[in-house]
Copies of this chain bind each other. A is one copy, B any other.
């Protein structure tokens, strides 16, 4: 079969809407964080995870798993954030191969401000304009999609005889 099932009217509205919302929203979030706090969204995510971790520190690979980042990206990004004084790194005593990343006082300052900003933006752009029912449905959809993506990731392509 060379022709797939194309999307009908309703499906297309949902899909195109989702794609457009995605692009617009992520651009919005990133722009707001940058202009008001001087943090990119990736910066924000790093600091958010660190600030929520016990002691404000994590092993590099743990942080990488939380963010779903490749190790090289994480390493490069942390180098830049370290140069800006937002995080610190030192070798792990337990495992000499590894590094422990910790949030600095300056980083904590920034993430506190940024978190307020971020919640305000989330409300302003999305949350406050949806009904309780829509919020529930949105959460459900997001869960389904994430589970589906995880499944697709786990079984890359053995399916052929169905």
Residues of chain A whose beta carbon lies under 8 Å from any beta carbon of chain B: 2-7, 10-11, 13-15, 17-18, 20-28, 68, 116, 119-120, 122-127, 129-130, 132-146, 148-149, 152
Contacts and interface: CB of A to CB of B under 8 A. Distances in A.
Contacts of A5: 119, 123
Copies of this chain assembled into the complex: 2
Contacts of A27: 68
Contacts of A22: 22, 25-26
12 contacts: A4-B120, A4-B123, A14-B127, A14-B135, A14-B139, A14-B142, A17-B138, A18-B126, A23-B68, A24-B146, A125-B152, A129-B145
Main secondary structure of the interface of A (DSSP, over half): helix
Nearest to A127: B11
Given A125-B152, A145-B21, A139 B10 contact: yes
A21 B26 CA distance: 12
B149 A28 contact: yes
